[in-house]
Amino acid sequence: MQRIASSVVSLLGLTALGLVPGFTQAGGPAPEHFLDSSSMILEIRYCECQATEPDGSPSELRPEFLERSHLLRVGLADEGRGYASSPELTIGFKLTPLPESPGAFDFSFAGRYASGNQSSTGSGEVLLSADQWINLFGSNREGGDGTQFSDVAVRLIEVGDS
């Protein structure tokens, strides 16, 4: 009997705490609190659309891609390794600063993007400059509605720029 009474009192106590919004939503730190001023953020954009023009540079993204794509931001730790995942995209990476070129990084990655009835994978190593987009990988497929594209692009920004 005492065990049942104890459970009822605990349940009532937890219910009462849930009804006090100030207690359950105490002013904790904002998510950005965990980034310091020297941190970098990797922005990843992915879409079932074409990222670049066929004869264009991999760093010149089409405005339509920037408007339609999903955006995933990943805060980077000092060691430069990371992993990000959403229902459609999974990517692992390593970012290494190039001492001879300030603001430039060696970006090694492996990723998979699957959406609708198509998927693409990519892996490799690219030179990534701060605040410059680069199209990493994607696919195109001919269908009844014309060519269908999917692309993944990234850029590296400083915390204050986001």
**Residue 45: closest CA among 111, 105, 1:** 111
- For the chain, give every domain's residue range: 39-161
Q: For residues 76 and 82, what is the distance between their CA atoms, to the nearest angstrom?
A: 7
Tens of pLDDT along 76-98? 877 789 999 999 999 999 999 99
User: Whole-structure pTM over 0.85, yes or no?
Assistant: no
Which stretch of 36-40, 60-64, 90-94 has the lowest confidence by average pLDDT? 36-40
143-159 pLDDT, tens digit each: 777 778 899 999 999 87
User: Closest Cα partner for 95 from 156, 152, 138, 158?
Assistant: 156
